[in-house]
Amino acid sequence: MQKRALVVGLGIAGMSAAIGLRQAGWTPVIVERAPERRKGGYFVGLMPEGRQAAVDLGIAGYLHTRNPPDGGKAWSLTRRGNREPGVGFLHQPGDPAAVVRGDIEAALWRSTCGDTTGEPIDVRFATAPVEIDDTGGDVRVLFEDAGTGAQHRENFDLVVGADGLRSRVRRMVFGPHEDYMTKWDAMICVFQLQEQVPSFAETDSIISARAGRAVWVFGFADRPPTVLLTYRTEDTRRQFTGSAIQRLRTVFSEMDDPAVRHALAALEKTPEFLFDSVHQVKMPRWSNGRVALLGDAAWCPNLYSGMGATAALRGGAELGRALLESPDDLDAALTGWESRLRPFIRKHQRIARLKQQMFVPSSRPVEALRSVVLRLACTARERRLAKARARTSA
């Protein structure tokens, strides 16, 4: 009899897990609390491991990337508002593929619906688990319809919680969020711009970073940029009181440059934005019996790491591989899956602290040091590009 798995969450992690399960011969069912599939999203840089996972999951041919030529130009704005050549997110080692979250989800959705390879996966919207009971032989799940409140039970051989940073599955099975979510004393706000910052090229990326606060504009080849506002604070709870837009205006009031002014003006008009505190999730183990966590629910590396989408894709691909290698021993499969993946996650969670200083320096001395490091990196990059152009023309 074919084994059934419940996947909670229809994001990148959830669909990746479901496709991996299907590749391993399981029958996955995805439940999503929202009434329909969410689209769009902010900037994502897909690293080599994520691109390989896309190949492993069979979606690489349907993944639309948006890289400007040569990674596009990046500009750093000085405290006086002057621009100088900078190093953008796409210029880091690994040559990230520029996408928005919705590009990855659209490719995954095609496979989930059976448009690429494999049978369609059962997806149920407006549905969420309210009780999870691991009996040892199977997992009994009580579902609730978000619209009607109707409830029913089903049994599964495995439950995968891929429902994000504040995972409902993690809370029900593993314990309170506070046990696993580390504090980073920082806030982010991300949203889509309708048009580029005036006087900059459409594909330019723009960085205005000061001690304790920063604005990043990420340029694409074929759509308007997305923007990240981020700042440090020792009281993240207080940031959620009152108007988020007014709070951001207050925080960034001392930064008077074109990127900041444009971003704050655009924020007033944008139909949706994400405003949240920054955390990582650290757990001693990502599974408990027949319940496993994947993606941000298990290991959220956070936005500063730039590895969230990459880790989610790889997590789903590796889960399928582990279940295929140990088809009759779930515990061995989950143990093997975690042992292969955890060093990768641990590495990038640690690097995220350094990357945070690059995104938003913690003090004026760090801000000055960051500027020196980026100038050296920019010079080195220009030399590499010059050599590459010389080889091409030779």
Domain match, 164 and 218 both: no
pLDDT value at position 333? 98
Full 3-state SS string of the chain: CCCEEEEECCCHHHHHHHHHHHHCCCEEEEEECCCCCCCCCCEEEECHHHHHHHHHCCCHHHCCCCCCHHHCCEEEECCCCCEEECCCHHHCCCCCEEEEHHHHHHHHHHHHCCCCCCCCCEEEECEEEEEEEECCCCEEEEEEECCCCCEEEEEECEEEECCCCCCHHHHHHCCCHHHCEEEEEEEEEEEECCCCCCCCCCCCEEEEEECCEEEEEECCCCCCCEEEEEEECCCCHHHHCCCHHHHHHHHCCCCCCHHHHHHHHHHHHCCCCEEEEEEEECCCCCEECCEEECCHHHHCCCHHHCCHHHHHHHHHHHHHHHHHHCCCCHHHHHHHHHHHHHHHHHHHHHHHHHHHHHHCCCCHHHHHHHHHHHHHHHHHHHHHHHHHHHHHHC
pLDDT of residue 79: 86
User: Do 332 and 210 fall into the same domain?
Assistant: no
Mean pLDDT by 10 residues, the chain (394 residues): 94 98 97 92 92 96 91 88 86 88 95 78 97 96 96 98 98 97 97 95 95 96 95 97 96 93 95 96 98 98 96 98 97 98 98 95 94 84 74 71
Q: Are residues 370 and 381 in the same domain?
A: yes
Residue 139: phi and psi, rounded to 5, are: -120, 120
Residues 56 and 136 in one domain: yes
Structure tokens at 373: 């490091």
In this structure, are 114 and 91 located in the same domain? no
349-392 pLDDT, tens per residue? Answer: 999 999 999 999 999 999 999 988 888 888 887 777 777 677 77
pLDDT in tens, 111-149: 999 765 668 999 999 999 999 999 999 999 999 999 999
Phi, psi of 8 (to 5 degrees): -100, 115
| CATH code of 387's domain | 3.30.9
Residue 58 to residues 21, 61, 163, Cα–Cα distance (Å): 13, 8, 22
The CA distance from 130 to 127, in Å, is 10
Indicate if 194 and 243 belong to the same structural domain. yes
Closest CA to 33 of 141, 128, 168, 129: 128
> Do 260 and 215 sit in the same domain of this protein?
yes
Same-domain pairing of 268 and 149: no
Q: 381 and 350 share a domain?
A: no
Residues 211 and 311 in one domain: no
Find tokens 């799940």 and name the residue. Answer: 141
pLDDT at position 89 is 87
Within its chain, how far is the Cα of 150 from the centroid? 32
- Domain that includes residue 39, residue range: 4-64+101-180+280-355
* Domain count for the chain: 2
Rounded to 5°, the CA angle 187-191-195 comes to 135
Contact 286, 299 (CB under 8 A): yes
> Do 192 and 323 share a structural domain?
no
8 A C-beta contact, residue 168 and residue 153:
no
Q: Which of 157, 127, 115 is nearest to 24 (CA)?
A: 157
Q: Are residues 207 and 304 in the same domain?
A: no
HSE (CB half, 13 Å, CA atoms) of 31? 22
- Whole-number pLDDT of residue 114: 79
Q: Rounded distance, CA 218 to CA 225, Å?
A: 5
Residue 163: phi and psi, rounded to 5, are -110, 35
Q: What is the CATH number of the domain that holds 320?
A: 3.50.50.60
